[in-house]
Structure 1
Amino acid sequence: MSILVRDGVGVRPRAAVAPRRRSGVPAAAWAGLQPWLLPIALVGLWQAACMAGLVPETVLPRPSAVLATGWAMVRTGELPAAMAVSFGRALAGLVVGGGIGFALGLANGLSRRSDRWTDTTLQMLRNVPHLALIPLVILWFGIGEGAKLFLVALGVFFPVYLNTLHGIRTVDPQLIEMGRSYGMSTATLFRRVVLPGALPSIFVGLRFGLGIMWLTLIVAETIAAQSGLGYMAMQAREFMQTDVIVLAILIYALLGKLADWTATLGERWAMPWRIAR
């Protein structure tokens, strides 16, 4: 709120000052810290419960032990190698599945003929749980990279496809008519009206697909893999290394958060006209 002060002529507003917390922490920094307070508090509670003996180390190791294990694996190079393999698989599945889903969503949203030919088949396939296909996929591709790429791409495909299709179909018809009345060509109308109007729904599908991407990859790597974070966790299970299993789970969670944060940045870059949240 601006504050009125008097000068020699009249009343003018004083320049607004960025709000600061009483502790001296800028409001922007405090807003960025707030989402992490609950996770940090939960980790602190976890550590305290383990140190007090309320949680046995064999059931759930303390966070400090998990961190020490992670640092040791970083020094040996085992953890960075596993993360690189899993990240590469996730990215490849996202590009393939998301790209095909986006293309078909655009085609079916813009063309009634394409929609009549393909949408019914896709809706039938969507109701088949893709993780239930794992035994069949192993028979098709073995336990190589093809099986994991197929499963991740299939998991990402449908959220991107459905939300792209929904976004295209729900663009305000009055905006389209206005664009046509201004003499826009079909390509210009799509670029300046249809696609910007569909972007919010498309990014919802992307963020939803990113979550399914990591979920699918976790299952695929624990069942049919010879490398990656999931394989590392399964090997640790064989030797009762609970700290390594917990470390793998936490890394999956952090990678998922990183993917969602990246999608959020992309959303803000692609839609600068939306109010920042």
Structure 2
Amino acid sequence: MTDTVQTDTVQIAAPAPVASSPPRRARTRRLAPGRRLPFARVLGPVLVLALWALVSVLGLTDQRALPAPWTVLVSLWDVWTTGTLRSDILTSLQRASLGFVFGLAGGVVFALLAGLTRVGEALIDGTVQVKRAVPNLGLIPLFILWLGIGEAFKVVIIALGVFVPIYINLVSALSGIDNRYVELARVVGLTRAQFIRQVVFPGALPGFFVGLRLAVTGSWLALVVLEQINATSGLGYMMYQAQNYGQTDLIIVGLLIYGVFGFVSDSLVRMLERSALSWRRGLSS
């Protein structure tokens, strides 16, 4: 008799696969300023105007010392339609433009001579540094004796105010070009003219535009002072006459026009800078 042993097979079910969760991405920290706000540069002035209007409505200021914005606008309209504001603006623009052109041309030429040649550096740089320490307003009496009280001395003073920032920033940009580019240009066999055109000029453009923005502002600052000294026309002369008659609203009109001119000219330089340096990528972009 044969004994048969039956063994029960126990089947153990495999556990169901657990769904794996997607790996968490590391949260990146934003270091750049972020996306540019629309009309960002106008928001600040608009906020100042809003605060000015608010304090005027609430009566927190003396209207004789700081008139309301609408009072200034009425005065602006009056001098524009019945006064000499149009001719004063044209005169101021002509002075600022002539001084800016002469100062820009002189600053670029002398900066190239001082930045690209050792002889130019020895002859020019020290003199410009001495001039830099002498304020332009201190030269006004001397230039009046030399050139008289006409338009010539005003244009020269504005040109000097433009010349210095152009020269300083352009020379600094030229001397700051990496020497490795010089070695690379020598290896590839560039001539001096090609080196200046293809390496020096693109490398110096960022510094040049910094100086250009400072020069634009400097031209308007010099103009404000000059037009209140022995002048018979211009925005500064209008403000000087308004001071004599206690017309605060006209003084603010002149300051607002100067501010608008400075803001618009700086914006134009910024647009030119973005166009010329479109290859550059920085925090602002």
Coarse TM-score class (shorter-chain normalised):
0.7 to 0.9
Q: Determine the structure 2 residue equivalent to 1:185.
A: 191
Task: Name the TM-score, length of structure 2 as normaliser.
Answer: 0.83
Q: Aligned partners of 2:105, 2:117: CA distance in 1, in Å? A: 18
Q: Determine the structure 1 residue equivalent to 2:103.
A: 97
Cα drift, residue 77 of structure 1: 6.2
Structure 2 counterpart SS, 1:222: coil
Encode CA deviations 1:16-74: one digit per residue, 9 max, x unaligned: xxxxxxxxxxxx9x823233223212212212212322111110111111111112222
Q: Determine the structure 2 residue equivalent to 1:80.
A: 86
Q: Determine the structure 1 residue equivalent to 2:117.
A: 111
Query: Could you say which structure has the higher helix fraction?
Result: 1
Residue type at the aligned position of 2:268:
T
Any stretches of 5+ residues in structure 2 without a counterpart?
1-34
Encode CA deviations 1:62-93: one digit per residue, 9 max, x unaligned: 11111111122222362222111111111111
Q: Determine the structure 2 residue equivalent to 1:32.
A: 38
Q: Aligned partners of 2:132, 2:51: CA distance in 1, in Å? A: 41
Residue type at the aligned position of 2:231:
A
Structure 2 counterpart SS, 1:210: helix
Task: Name the TM-score, length of structure 1 as normaliser.
Answer: 0.85
Cα drift, residue 115 of structure 1: 0.9
- Taking every aligned residue pair, what percent have the same amino acid on both sides? 40
2:49 is equivalent to residue 43 of structure 1:
yes
What number of residue pairs does the alignment pair up? 250
The match for 2:69 among 63, 69, 79 is: 63
Q: How does 1:187-266 map to 2 (within 5 A)?
A: 187-266=193-272
Any stretches of 5+ residues in structure 1 without a counterpart?
1-27
Give yes or no for contact 1:138–1:224 (8 Å, CA) kept in 2.
no
Residue type at the aligned position of 1:202:
F
Q: Aligned partners of 1:172, 1:258: CA distance in 2, in Å? A: 34
The match for 1:160 among 155, 166, 180 is: 166
Give yes or no for contact 1:206–1:263 (8 Å, CA) kept in 2.
yes
